[in-house]
Copies of this chain bind each other. A is one copy, B any other.
Amino acid sequence: MKQTKRSMLLGTAVATLLASNLVGASALPETAPAPANNPTTPAKVELGKQLFFDPRLSIDGTISCNSCHNVMSNGTDSRATSVGIDGQRGGRSAPTVWNAAFLSAQFWDGRAATLEDQSKGPPLNPIEMGMPSEEAIVERLSSIPGYVEQFNSVFKGKNAVSYDNMAKAIAAFERTLITRNSPYDRYVSGDKNALSQQAQRGKKVFEQSGCSTCHSGANFAGPTQPIGEGFYQKFPAIDSDYDKKYKLSDDKGRYEVTKNKDDMNKWRVSSLRNIALTAPYFHNGSVATLDEAVRVMAKTQLGMEMSDKDVADVVAFLNSLSGEFPEISMPRLPETVNNSLVGNMK
């Protein structure tokens, strides 16, 4: 049973990946590709940074994008699941915003094609930022003179404050969030001392045991796909005790988006960039440590009990995927004078 499932999984994966690198053999690019209708410009990035850090995008002024995707840290909140307005808990773990620009589909279930689409979700989600409508957000942004001025300048219009343009600016900022020059990147660029002996052993285990079948490409998230076409795999693919222990199957994953039975428990393959920094792990954040996450993956996706030594080596390799975080200046949020937009919220 386990063998059969594993063969099916690998069969599908190999067919998908035949023409692509099985191993993430390239360094992260310096810049992220942007859609033709949203070129990245410095002024747009600056506006997007302000919006990303502005808690006034939430109904009561307490939650910004950065609350759950902390750019000063690992791009997540380091929690199993996030906390939105009124202390409400979400159901899935916040994915990191670092290098998200290189993913071809956003959210755990790939329900947004682009960073632009993704950024439109949380502000309207009642348990995240809780704004009642796009119009309410546009109205709030339009009450802040510093935003009106920047929107009109960046998007060249007289009434350029819109939900679409907000999303474009945030996405432009997010496209600058790239962590390059990890030990792994230096290694594949020719510096053979950039990886420790243990990390090099871990790299071999990672490749030979099949991790790299799915975690391929420069972002270790699968082959490059057209924007909007995610690279999905079933998780857990193979029955094990971990399923019950960590409630891995409770959330139906992409099935909840498509209602297609083939998508049951399927998830976008996660990037492994900075994975050592983004505990806890998996869609429900149920696994606390990276070594346990490696054990779970080996069992549920590859049907193997990985030895403690191999786990330690793979963890050493995964640590080599932690990149350098660029220095960023703090945004200054444009003010409303003589009054507050969120002052009288309960």
Please report which residues of chain A, range 56-75, place their CB below 8 angstroms from some CB of chain B when the two chains form the complex.
Answer: 56, 60-62, 67, 70-74
Asked if A333 and B279 make an inter-chain contact with CB atoms under 8 angstroms apart, the answer reads no
Does A102 make an interface contact (CB < 8 A)? no
CB nearest to A275 among chain B residues: B338
Q: Mark A305-345, 1 if CB is under 8 A from B, else 0.
A: 00000000001000100100101111111011111111111
A85 close to B (CB within 8 Å)? yes
Interface of A is mostly: loop
Please tell me if A290 contacts chain B, counting CB pairs below 8 Å. Answer: yes
How near does chain B come to A233, taking the closest CB pair, in angstroms? 23
A335 to B56, CA, bound (A): 28
Q: Which of A38-46, A76-84, A167-175, A265-273 contacts B (4 or more CB under 8 A)?
A: A76-84
CB-CB under 8 A from A61, the residues of chain B are 77-79
Q: Looking at the assembled complex, report how far the CB atom of A272 sits from the nearest CB atom of chain B, in whole angstroms.
A: 13
A339 to B279, CA, bound (A): 5
Contacts of A88 in B (CB 8 A): 87
Chain B CB within 8 A of A236 CB: no
With an 8 A cutoff between CB atoms, is A48 at the interface?
Answer: no
Nearest-neighbour CB distance to chain B for A335, whole angstroms, equals 5
Closest to A83 in B: B62
* A335 CA to B323 CA, complexed, in Å: 12
- Cα–Cα, bound, A83→B330 (Å): 23
- Which residues of B sit under 8 angstroms from A89, Cβ to Cβ? 346
Instruction: Decide yes or no whether A280 CB sits under 8 A from chain B.
Output: yes
- Could you list 9 A-B pairs, sorted by A, with CB under 8 Å? A73-B332, A73-B335, A80-B343, A80-B345, A276-B338, A277-B335, A279-B336, A322-B337, A327-B329
